[in-house]
Structure 1
Amino acid sequence: HPSRPAPPPLERISHVTLVGQGNVSLDVARMLLTPPSVLAKYDVPKPVLEVLERSNVQHVSILGRRGPFQAAFTTKELREMMNLPGASMVPLDPAYLTAPEGSLKLTRQQSRTLQLLQKGSNNKPGTTKKTWSLDFFRSPTGLTTPNNAGDKARLSLGHTILDPSNRAVPTGETSTLETDLVITSLGHHAEPSAPWYDPSLNHLRTLSGRVVDAGGRIVRNVYASGWAATGARGVLVSTMMDAYAVADTILRDHFPEEDVHTTPISESDAGAGGGQDTPAAEAIEVLPKHVEADTFPPEVEAWLREGRVTDFEDWKAVDAEEVRCGEAMGKERERMVWEEAREFLASARPRNIDITA
């Protein structure tokens, strides 16, 4: 990514703390605990492998303020963690391995999650060099950085419990976790300063995929999908289907006399883009009414000339080169970083594009 930070010095880090218990947290933990020799045959870039080969990480703590039945990770991701070579889960408190009294019947996913956690809790400590733990009912409240090189940071944790509405509330108890690196993975909040942001929802106000203002009026030609429209919920498949549904909404708005859809009706009726249509008479104008459909905006024209944006032909060229380099290295592909991709495109062909052709 163009704005990626420098990698942490994993050779000096033995304990990592991940704040958040979603799939991304488990992905990060899996990358840190999987032997680089296993990752080498996939599409992990060589610079990333070099960092991981120097890693001294021995344990990863994965914190969540609620319990195992409220955790956001999926069964598939948890199972992959359970199957890590050379790393095992720290057994859970037995109290976490039974459904709470008076709780509703567990969903299918909750039942599978419980079975996996029970299986992982049968591990005998010390059987693997590396370990990981799911630390439930813990909420970070402060971080004290080390005074001396080689010392660990101290992460203050507030203990929590669920109230009748399943919200995590503090118990008043606290503890401290010594760690070398803290990584947050807490989902997504839309930018509060963005137009049409609703602070009560933590995302944009939408109706059937159309952005609306505070008065409920449609903002003509402005649409949103995925987490920008729904908040941080769902996985890649659900957000993809939501994008298709919003695309259907756009098509219906601009081609009302034609029966055009990107997906079958049964699928496009789900998500932010589906549902009941709203009369266009309610709309307010914020964009130009007349735009030439066969020309690019001036900004895009300039960026194309300067090589600051890429088109589909560029993507295909980069894709083919990554696969070619990967085959030579005995792996799926060797991914380029942004700077490498720009340099490759600049040398592969001139950027004198006739954007009016």
Structure 2
Amino acid sequence: MAPLKLAVVGGGPSSFYVASRLLSLLPQTSVRGENLRVHMYDRLWAPHGLVRYGVAPDHPEVKNCTHKFDQAAMDPRFRFFGNIHVGARPSTIIPHARSISLSSLAPHYTHLLFATGCTVPTFHPALPASDLVVPALSFVHWYTQHPSRPRIPSLEKIEHVTLIGQGNVSLDVARILLTSPSVLEKYDVPETVLEILRRSAVKHVSIVGRRGPLEAAFTVKELREMMNLSEASMVPLDPSLLEPPPDTKLNRQQTRTLQLLRKGSVNEHGKTPKTWSLDFFRSPTGLAPPSPSSPAANLTLAHTSLDSSNHAIPTGQTSTLATNLVVTSLGHRSDPTQEFYDPALAHLRTLSGRVVSAEGHVVRNVYASGWAAMGAKGVLASTMMDAYAVADTILSDQFPDAAEGEGVQTTHAPARGAEGVLEDAVEGLGLGKDVDLENVPEEVERGVMEGEVTQYGDWKRVDEEEVRRGEVLGKERERMGWEEAREFLRKA
């Protein structure tokens, strides 16, 4: 029976959903399931990707999916290898990660899945990165203690923060900056982060978007949380902004958004120590740094309106906004140094989950899922459905003639089946055919022996200890960084 030995590059939710789907559709007791192995490689030492390092700490319910990931990891056919960077050159973002090239990894596997997400933030062309302009991703990685250890400007002298972009990530960052540390301290917020937030001087957060309230990307849930902040209030909006254009049919979310905005925050504006605002129909065009006469930077904003296609266009008017820090939250793209990256798409080239070469040919037995394949959009539920569909595509390609009862019963039919598509497929990356099911690359095995490469059992020991330390402090958990986790595991 031909083996299906899959190497997954990336350890986030999409990776685990694909693994879970494959392991459940091909149970170990089935003929085909005996010859299935799933090995997951992640440059981060801890698994779960965005669930651990992207979800806001005051949203613990979003992390419940890790129970399903744990179930998949318990299958003896699954192995996780953390602190391993798969790529042509060492990672500059995670310098302590061990490196392995695709050419060294591929011969040990029959199939390959890229599930590397979108890890590179998009900057506004008028606002290049500087001491005054940082990506929202740096803030998120700061308060989740991401191994990249991003630096953020000191909050002790920052009173006004401007967020560019009106998606959920913007609201997450604004909420963390405006929420009292006494509220956050019960959640999964590292003590080092809480100490900085306790010294924060932030009094106002402006959330700027180039379009209007009907086009804002944040969800009603996130907006409601902003309205309910205990120590902050929203600056009331001009009522004319909340009147939809004539003959406009609103969907459910738009209707509820307008209702919330009309109602305003639970605290009356002017009676709270902190405030926030939604600045619609504004687009940055430049930033003048502070001067001896002006301690704040001046952000120039072009006023905009919507054309017939709902695109924001400048009206010719401008205004300036005095601010101490600009945080850009304009989306993300995949790492452009990756194989099969398409700059026009800002993610990998795929067809129904199958990776496509620059010449337009499907690459045999190479797949992509999640944001690596679709771009940075959607929530965990949509990620799960995409991952399940990709897993089903892998199985339909591997077992095109599987008869009923042979353990291959997929329910997510690929958008295009194997017929025709795989006839023109090209071989790529040097994947193996007659592989040892249990074997892994020598450098990976050596990293495990030296305590530099983590496995899932290592993570569960760290997880248990983080929760124990959190209980002592009266919080969800107290996180470890890599150095501390490595030392803990060495002693354990």
1:337/1:193 Cα in 2 relative to 1: closer, same or farther (>3 Å)? closer
Within 2, Cα distance between the matches of 1:170 and 1:205?
Answer: 33
1:101 is the counterpart of 2:246? yes
Whether the 8 Å contact between 1:40 and 1:331 is mirrored in structure 2 is yes
Within 1, Cα distance between the matches of 2:443 and 2:291?
Answer: 49
Residue range with higher mean Cα deviation, 7-16 or 31-40 = 7-16
Report % sequence identity: 66
Residue range with higher mean Cα deviation, 293-302 or 310-319 = 293-302
1:276 is the counterpart of 2:424? no
Residue range with higher mean Cα deviation, 42-51 or 166-175 = 166-175
Whether the 8 Å contact between 1:159 and 1:172 is mirrored in structure 2 is yes
Within 2, Cα distance between the matches of 1:284 and 1:194?
Answer: 18
**CA apart distance, 1:90:** 0.9
1:183/1:339 Cα in 2 relative to 1: closer, same or farther (>3 Å)? farther
1:93/1:259 Cα in 2 relative to 1: closer, same or farther (>3 Å)? farther
CA RMSD, aligned part only? Answer: 2.1
> Residue by residue, what CA displacement relative to the aligned partner does 1:328-355 show, whole Å, maximum 9, x if unpaired?
111121122233222222222xxxxxxx
Whether the 8 Å contact between 1:91 and 1:123 is mirrored in structure 2 is no
Q: Please name the residue that 1:90 is paired with.
A: 235
> Residue by residue, what CA displacement relative to the aligned partner does 1:286-331 show, whole Å, maximum 9, x if unpaired?
1224243321123422332343331100110011001111111111
1:55 is the counterpart of 2:212? no
Residue range with higher mean Cα deviation, 8-17 or 219-228 = 219-228
Q: Please name the residue that 1:168 is paired with.
A: 312
Q: Please name the residue that 2:67 is paired with.
A: none
Q: Please name the residue that 1:76 is paired with.
A: 221
1:144/1:305 Cα in 2 relative to 1: closer, same or farther (>3 Å)? farther
Q: Please name the residue that 1:135 is paired with.
A: 279
Q: Please name the residue that 1:245 is paired with.
A: 389
Q: How does 1:285-304 map to 2 (within 5 A)?
A: 285-290=427-432, 291-304=435-448
Please state whether the residue corresponding to 1:131 is helix, strand or coil.
strand
Normalised to the residue count of structure 1, the TM-score between the two structures is 0.88
Q: Please name the residue that 1:309 is paired with.
A: 453
Within 1, Cα distance between the matches of 2:212 and 2:490?
Answer: 51
Within 2, Cα distance between the matches of 1:160 and 1:302?
Answer: 57
Please state whether the residue corresponding to 1:101 is helix, strand or coil.
coil
1:141/1:298 Cα in 2 relative to 1: closer, same or farther (>3 Å)? farther
From 169, 175, 183, the equivalent of 2:327 is: 183
Q: Please name the residue that 2:491 is paired with.
A: 347
Q: Please name the residue that 1:355 is paired with.
A: none
**CA apart distance, 1:124:** 4.2
The one-letter code matched in structure 2 to 1:109 is Q
Within 1, Cα distance between the matches of 2:258 and 2:277?
Answer: 15
Residue range with higher mean Cα deviation, 185-194 or 69-78 = 185-194
Q: Please name the residue that 1:353 is paired with.
A: none
Whether the 8 Å contact between 1:20 and 1:63 is mirrored in structure 2 is yes
Whether the 8 Å contact between 1:21 and 1:62 is mirrored in structure 2 is yes
Within 2, Cα distance between the matches of 1:193 and 1:239?
Answer: 23
Within 2, Cα distance between the matches of 1:172 and 1:12?
Answer: 34
Higher relative contact order (CA 8 A, sep 6+): 2
> Residue by residue, what CA displacement relative to the aligned partner does 1:4-44 show, whole Å, maximum 9, x if unpaired?
22242111111111111111110011100110001111111
Residue range with higher mean Cα deviation, 127-136 or 274-283 = 274-283
1:107/1:151 Cα in 2 relative to 1: closer, same or farther (>3 Å)? same
Within 2, Cα distance between the matches of 1:163 and 1:195?
Answer: 38
The one-letter code matched in structure 2 to 1:260 is V
> Residue by residue, what CA displacement relative to the aligned partner does 1:145-181 show, whole Å, maximum 9, x if unpaired?
2134981111111221111111112222211111111
1:195/1:172 Cα in 2 relative to 1: closer, same or farther (>3 Å)? farther
1:315/1:260 Cα in 2 relative to 1: closer, same or farther (>3 Å)? farther
1:115 is the counterpart of 2:263? no
Within 1, Cα distance between the matches of 2:243 and 2:198?
Answer: 39
Within 2, Cα distance between the matches of 1:303 and 1:159?
Answer: 55
Whether the 8 Å contact between 1:92 and 1:121 is mirrored in structure 2 is no
Q: How does 1:147-166 map to 2 (within 5 A)?
A: 147-148=291-292, 151-166=295-310
1:208/1:122 Cα in 2 relative to 1: closer, same or farther (>3 Å)? same
Number of corresponding residues:
339
Within 1, Cα distance between the matches of 2:233 and 2:436?
Answer: 59
Please state whether the residue corresponding to 2:326 is helix, strand or coil.
strand
Whether the 8 Å contact between 2:397 and 2:418 is mirrored in structure 1 is no
Q: Please name the residue that 1:352 is paired with.
A: none
Within 1, Cα distance between the matches of 2:454 and 2:234?
Answer: 43
**CA apart distance, 1:94:** 1.1
Within 1, Cα distance between the matches of 2:192 and 2:359?
Answer: 50
Whether the 8 Å contact between 2:232 and 2:267 is mirrored in structure 1 is no
Whether the 8 Å contact between 2:227 and 2:266 is mirrored in structure 1 is no
4+ residue runs over 6 A deviation = none
Q: Please name the residue that 2:374 is paired with.
A: 230
**CA apart distance, 1:123:** 6.4
Within 2, Cα distance between the matches of 1:283 and 1:68?
Answer: 46
Q: Please name the residue that 2:170 is paired with.
A: 25
Q: Please name the residue that 2:408 is paired with.
A: 260
From 336, 340, 347, the equivalent of 1:196 is: 340
Within 1, Cα distance between the matches of 2:365 and 2:194?
Answer: 44
Whether the 8 Å contact between 2:228 and 2:265 is mirrored in structure 1 is no
Normalised to the residue count of structure 2, the TM-score between the two structures is 0.65
Whether the 8 Å contact between 1:203 and 1:228 is mirrored in structure 2 is yes
- Gaps (5+ residues) in structure 2? 1-145
Please state whether the residue corresponding to 1:310 is helix, strand or coil.
coil
Q: Please name the residue that 1:351 is paired with.
A: none
**CA apart distance, 1:122:** 8.8
**CA apart distance, 1:120:** 1.0
Residue range with higher mean Cα deviation, 289-298 or 217-226 = 289-298
Please state whether the residue corresponding to 1:132 is helix, strand or coil.
strand
